[in-house]
Amino acid sequence: MDEAKRALEQECPGLISCADIIQLAARHAVVQSGGPFYPLALGRRDGFIINGSLSSGELPGVDSMISSIIKIFRRKGFNEMDIVRLIGMPETLDVGLWTLDYN
């Protein structure tokens, strides 16, 4: 990320944020793996302060139990299939398993 940001800043200072780089890289990976091309809303600004406590509880941790992940994303309006897709589980997963505490 740092190398990409430095290179872009040299060519077009202040125009492309780290968030935009991540979005573009993710879309490129999807397209390269055979998935669809999709439009992106670019133009986010990078923050000047990094403070994980500001997002506390907004996103699951790397060691979160599936029950915690479900609670967090249900509060945001996601259903089970949305959550399965979001965290990268195969669509063939039996949604009934989601009621158990799998890590």
How far apart are alpha carbons 34 and 103 in whole angstroms? 29
**Whole-number percent of the chain with pLDDT over 70:** 76
Interval 15-40 mean pLDDT: 86
Phi, psi of 21 (to 5 degrees): -60, -45
Does the annotation list 90 as a binding residue? no
Per-residue CA distances from 60 to 10, 56, 96 (Å): 35, 9, 21
| 1: Cα within 13 Å, side-chain hemisphere | 10
- The mean pLDDT value of the chain amounts to 77
Helical pair 18-32 and 2-11, crossing angle rounded to 10 deg: 110
- pTM for the whole structure: 0.48
